[in-house]
A and B are shown apart, each in its own frame.
Chain A
Amino acid sequence: MKYYLRIFLALINTASKRYLEYRWNTFGNLVTSTLSLILVIFFVDIIFSQTNNIAGWTKPEVLFFVGTFRVFSSLLSFLYLRSINFIPKYIQRGDLDMFLVKPVNVQFYVSLCFTRVYEIINLLPGIVLIGYALQSLGGVSWEGWLLLLGGVICGLLIFYGLYFMCATLAFWFVQFNSLTSIYFVANSFLCFPTDVFGKNGSLVFTYLIPLGFIVTVPVRIFLAKDPPLFLILSVFFAALSLWLSVKFWNYALKHYTSASS
Chain B
Amino acid sequence: MGKYWAYFKLSLQTILEYRGDMVIYTLNNGAMPLVGLLIWLAAASGGAKLAIAAPDLIVYFLLAAWVNIVVFSWGSWYVYEIIDKGDFYKYLIKPFSLAWGFAAENGAQQVLKTVVISAVILIIAVVLSRSYPLHLRVTPLSLLLFLPSLVMTGLIVFYIELCLGLTAFWVYDIDFLTNTYNMLNQLLSGRLIPLVFLPAGLASASTFMPFRYTLSFPIEVLLNKVGGYEELLGFMIQIIWLGATFVLYRLLYQQGAKNYQGFGG
Q: Which residues of A contact B (CB under 8 A)?
A: 22, 25, 28-29, 31-32, 35-36, 39, 42-43, 46-47, 49-56, 173-178, 181-182, 184-185, 188-189, 191-192, 195-198, 201
Contact = CB atoms under 8 A, between A and B. Distances in A.
B39 A188 contact: no
Nearest to B173: A25
A173 B18 CA distance: 9
Given A22-B173, A25-B175, A35 B187 contact: no
Given A32-B176, A35-B180, A47 B43 contact: yes
A103 B47 CA distance: 60
Interface of B: 18, 20-22, 24-25, 27-28, 31-32, 35, 38-43, 45-51, 172-173, 175-176, 179-180, 183-184, 186-187, 192-193, 197-199
Contacts of A29: 175-176
B73 to A, nearest CB: 15
A49 B197 CA distance: 9
Nearest to A27: B176
Nearest to B32: A188
A176 B25 CA distance: 11
Contacts of B176: 25, 28-29, 31-32
B180 to A, nearest CB: 6
Interface class of chain B by DSSP:
helix
Contacts of A52: 46-47
Contacts of A54: 39, 42-43, 46
19 contacts: A25-B172, A25-B175, A28-B173, A28-B176, A32-B183, A46-B193, A46-B199, A50-B48, A55-B46, A176-B21, A177-B21, A178-B21, A181-B24, A181-B25, A181-B27, A184-B28, A197-B38, A197-B42, A198-B42
A177 B23 CA distance: 12
Contacts of B173: 22, 25, 28
Nearest to B33: A188
Nearest to B198: A46
A43 B192 contact: yes
B183 A178 contact: no
A37 to B, nearest CB: 10
Lowest 8 A-B CB distances belong to which pairs?
A: A51-B48, A28-B176, A178-B24, A181-B28, A188-B31, A196-B42, A178-B21, A55-B42
A193 to B, nearest CB: 9
Contacts of B50: 50
A36 B35 contact: no
B39 A22 contact: no
Contact of B28 (A28, A173, A185): A185
Nearest to A32: B179
Contact of B183 (A25, A35, A47): A35
Given A39-B187, A184-B28, A51 B38 contact: no
B139 to A, nearest CB: 29
A43 to B, nearest CB: 6
User: Most chain-B Cβ atoms within 10 A of its Cβ — which of A25, A46, A51, A176?
Assistant: A51
Given A25-B176, A178-B20, 15 more contacts: A28-B176, A32-B180, A39-B183, A39-B184, A39-B186, A54-B43, A55-B45, A173-B20, A175-B21, A182-B24, A185-B27, A192-B35, A192-B39, A198-B42, A201-B38
Contacts of A35: 180, 183
Contacts of B28: 178, 181-182, 184-185
A49 B193 CA distance: 12
B95 to A, nearest CB: 28
Contacts of B192: 43
A198 to B, nearest CB: 7
B175 A32 contact: yes
A198 B21 contact: no
B193 A43 contact: yes
A53 B38 contact: no
B35 A46 contact: no
B234 to A, nearest CB: 22
B187 A42 contact: yes
A195 B172 CA distance: 41
Contacts of B48: 50-51
Contacts of A173: 18, 20
Contacts of B193: 43, 46
Contacts of A56: 46
Nearest to B39: A196
A113 to B, nearest CB: 20
